[in-house]
Structure 1
């Protein structure tokens, strides 16, 4: 039972919003707990599936109860992501619009990474994902979550939307999950009610216009803009669509939906742009607004840039690194300081260009450092889908030992093999350890270790 009071004037402000049902809405917030849902990683085999599937996302599943994810090794292995079900609808949109040929996708406001891993799940190695986070302190969690997801076709940046002005027509799809007044999260995060006001709604509207105007040139002609908020207010939703279609050459895209899903299909007042509203009580999820638009004009050509910031590679070092990677010919290897990294070969030019224009925090998969003729493998390589498991030893851990490992505590392993080993749980990699004759050196990253005491 939720006893939180809605902000003054909030319910009245929604009375004319499309599909709003006051009684149903209040009941859902006061008497219904938020559902728990996860989305499994298609690149890592897992049995974490239930019979209760999120209807608009084949990889999304509802859980009967909310477990302690911190104490599930498979969570740390990147076997799944804990994500609110309504936001998984973006996977359904992508399925409708993504062309067969390779695309470059930008997730502009990406942290903590739910929508980035969602987008990445629908991509092939030929596609490139740039996940950007504006707020510097939120970048590490975004990078960590993409590292857990394991693919090499991702780049994480920390830039203001206006910095993308220089990348004219670079992206084929841009997702702007815009900062908003947050009313769609009231049930999941009641503290957000204290921040809501009509003045803040109007302030968010202005910020959303500025962000969209800044990012617009980076979208290619005939490219798609996906716009979403976790707000119910028309000022942040349908009014933004009317502004977009007035200011720019954009065509609204109608996304097919099943009436049984409970999603409310809307159209903006002036330009009749299609939008999709999610209300708790009508859908098994939280509040969301999302829409899709197609750009029908060119913002000019991107100036090519050929210079390469990356260090020249030493072939003798390269020969030591290659055995650790599955199909190394498929990847472009480069060094940043002492670290070796790899990204899909087809994204080499894009990486070089983005390095020139943006502040990059993560590129592809960090492989590790060389110490003499040995590779000191990075945690990113352990969790990646590109690691060559034939080149490294594996040690399968019990649940209790996996938790000890994730706490970065001492392990006792009676294992004949000595040296570097990939520590796994139910076949999923957790990280590295070095097995020595009388002890185990635990190399799980200190900053990621489990600190809490465990479920009560």
Structure 2
């Protein structure tokens, strides 16, 4: 692969006398790719494969000695972990270093699909925070929703909007993460197609797109709010130069993040304002190419007021969620047509504000459809950490769990002694979905759109 790296990019990187061009090229040779995962702290479980070294800047990140077939693993579908590139996990270290995990806040992940950084934020932020994960491309927003559903918490909202929509939420967010669409040079080792797509013209195009995205989003940040800006590009135009542009346009302040010198990332500074950035090169860290910088809003921002919004009464019996959601009385119930969602009561007005100005794919945890006298449970509820685990459940071995994920019929004798009605399917005590016991047969309710077609 090394012979196909763009000469113009390698030459520009090599202009830095401290840059080891030979080591960089060698790192892109076949067989150098690294696999890492991040555990879900809300769903602790012993995995079926070996965890090698820990990712040094991540409390839940681990490298794998070998890459298993994740689609064959029921624990992947249960949301026990997320397969994430190690360099990207540095965002969690940023959150902790800034103390943004100490108290509840409003957070936005603007370019969120497929969901790696959204699940990372959800794991790292204070548990009473609210995270809005947005994706402009409809097909990718579906993948984002699937991954956040697996993660299992009720303090997330998924939206499918152009960044311009966020101008309608002035001064709303304490934190915004913009993992901007970029020219993709940091992914050369992981994705050979990225090499064919890279060009200096595309770098320029991506920079213009990044500026538009950021300019549309910036009004939604609060005074003293933080912007975490990242790319998977090596190009200065998309990285350090963008920090200078943001400081010029929005009078922001650069924030330096403490790093252990043994981790290997390079602390860089922008040309004009010496703004701090962090570059991850595959010959220096166990991870792919990545850039991230942190800026803080100093100008006084207009703010969105929730005072005019009112909580609507929901036509749902008081105990409708009893037996389905643990501590159900502590949640607010939201209704969209006949579908019931739950969220923390303190997030109800914020979600209402989102409904007024954004197109939402999902909010909180989707519990199910209310049929007037009974609940038809949703797959989201099966994967939720708020599920009432006193519900009937049947534990399956690996082969049978894979059959379930294929949406195949299960042996009826497994359910001897289980009362008619809804029953959870579990693997290693983690729920992976619903079945319904009907006496002489079992109905598999694993969603067809996420079933495993080939195992």
TM-score, reference length from structure 2: 0.95
Q: Alpha-carbon deviations, 1:46-77, whole Å to 9, x = none?
A: 22372410000010000001100000000000
Q: Which residue of 2 aligns with 1:378?
A: 378
Q: Does 1:283 align with 2:259?
A: no
**8 Å CA contact 2:321, 2:328 repeated in 1:** no
1:253-332 alignment, distance < 5 Å: 253-304=255-306, 306-307=308-309, 312-316=313-317, 318-332=318-332
**8 Å CA contact 1:38, 1:60 repeated in 2:** yes
Question: Which secondary structure state, in structure 1, belongs to the residue aligned with residue 158 of structure 2?
Answer: strand
**8 Å CA contact 2:105, 2:126 repeated in 1:** no
**8 Å CA contact 1:342, 1:364 repeated in 2:** yes
**8 Å CA contact 1:170, 1:302 repeated in 2:** yes
Q: Which residue of 2 aligns with 1:339?
A: 339
**8 Å CA contact 2:167, 2:216 repeated in 1:** yes
Moved more, 410-419 or 83-92: 410-419
Instruction: Report the count of equivalent residues.
Output: 449
Q: 2: CA distance between counterparts of 1:18 and 1:153?
A: 47
**8 Å CA contact 1:17, 1:234 repeated in 2:** no
Q: Alpha-carbon deviations, 1:3-53, whole Å to 9, x = none?
A: 661134231132235853210100000154211000000000122372410
Q: Which residue of 2 aligns with 1:352?
A: 352
| Post-superposition offset of 1:306 | 3.4
Q: After the TM superposition, list the runs of 4 or more consecutive aligned residues in structure 1 that deviate by more than 4 angstroms.
A: 307-310
Q: Which residue of 1 aligns with 2:387?
A: 387
Q: Which residue of 2 aligns with 1:130?
A: 132
Distance 1:373 1:6, change over 3 A: same
**8 Å CA contact 2:232, 2:289 repeated in 1:** yes
- CA RMSD in angstroms, aligned pairs only: 1.6
Q: 1: CA distance between counterparts of 2:179 and 2:70?
A: 25
**8 Å CA contact 1:39, 1:60 repeated in 2:** yes
**8 Å CA contact 1:152, 1:342 repeated in 2:** yes
Q: Alpha-carbon deviations, 1:130-156, whole Å to 9, x = none?
A: 000011121110001000000000000
Distance 1:323 1:248, change over 3 A: same
| Post-superposition offset of 1:300 | 1.2
Q: 2: CA distance between counterparts of 1:380 and 1:315?
A: 19
Q: 2: CA distance between counterparts of 1:328 and 1:124?
A: 21
1:4-403 alignment, distance < 5 Å: 5-16=4-15, 20-48=19-47, 50-99=51-100, 100-304=102-306, 306-307=308-309, 312-316=313-317, 318-390=318-390, 392-403=391-402
Q: 2: CA distance between counterparts of 1:3 and 1:439?
A: 57
Q: Which residue of 1 aligns with 2:406?
A: 407
Question: Which secondary structure state, in structure 2, belongs to the residue aligned with residue 259 of structure 1?
Answer: coil
Moved more, 300-309 or 148-157: 300-309
**8 Å CA contact 1:172, 1:223 repeated in 2:** yes
Q: 2: CA distance between counterparts of 1:3 and 1:299?
A: 48
Moved more, 251-260 or 28-37: 28-37
TM-score, reference length from structure 1: 0.95
Which segments of 5 or more consecutive residues in structure 2 lack a partner in the other structure?
A: none
| Post-superposition offset of 1:323 | 2.9
**8 Å CA contact 1:4, 1:190 repeated in 2:** no
| Post-superposition offset of 1:420 | 1.0
**8 Å CA contact 1:306, 1:352 repeated in 2:** no
| Post-superposition offset of 1:363 | 0.2
**8 Å CA contact 1:266, 1:275 repeated in 2:** yes
**8 Å CA contact 1:169, 1:298 repeated in 2:** no
Q: Which residue of 1 aligns with 2:452?
A: 450
Which segments of 5 or more consecutive residues in structure 1 lack a partner in the other structure?
A: none
Distance 1:76 1:426, change over 3 A: same
Q: 1:441 aligns with which of 443, 448, 453?
A: 443
**8 Å CA contact 1:231, 1:289 repeated in 2:** yes
Question: Which secondary structure state, in structure 1, belongs to the residue aligned with residue 186 of structure 2?
Answer: helix
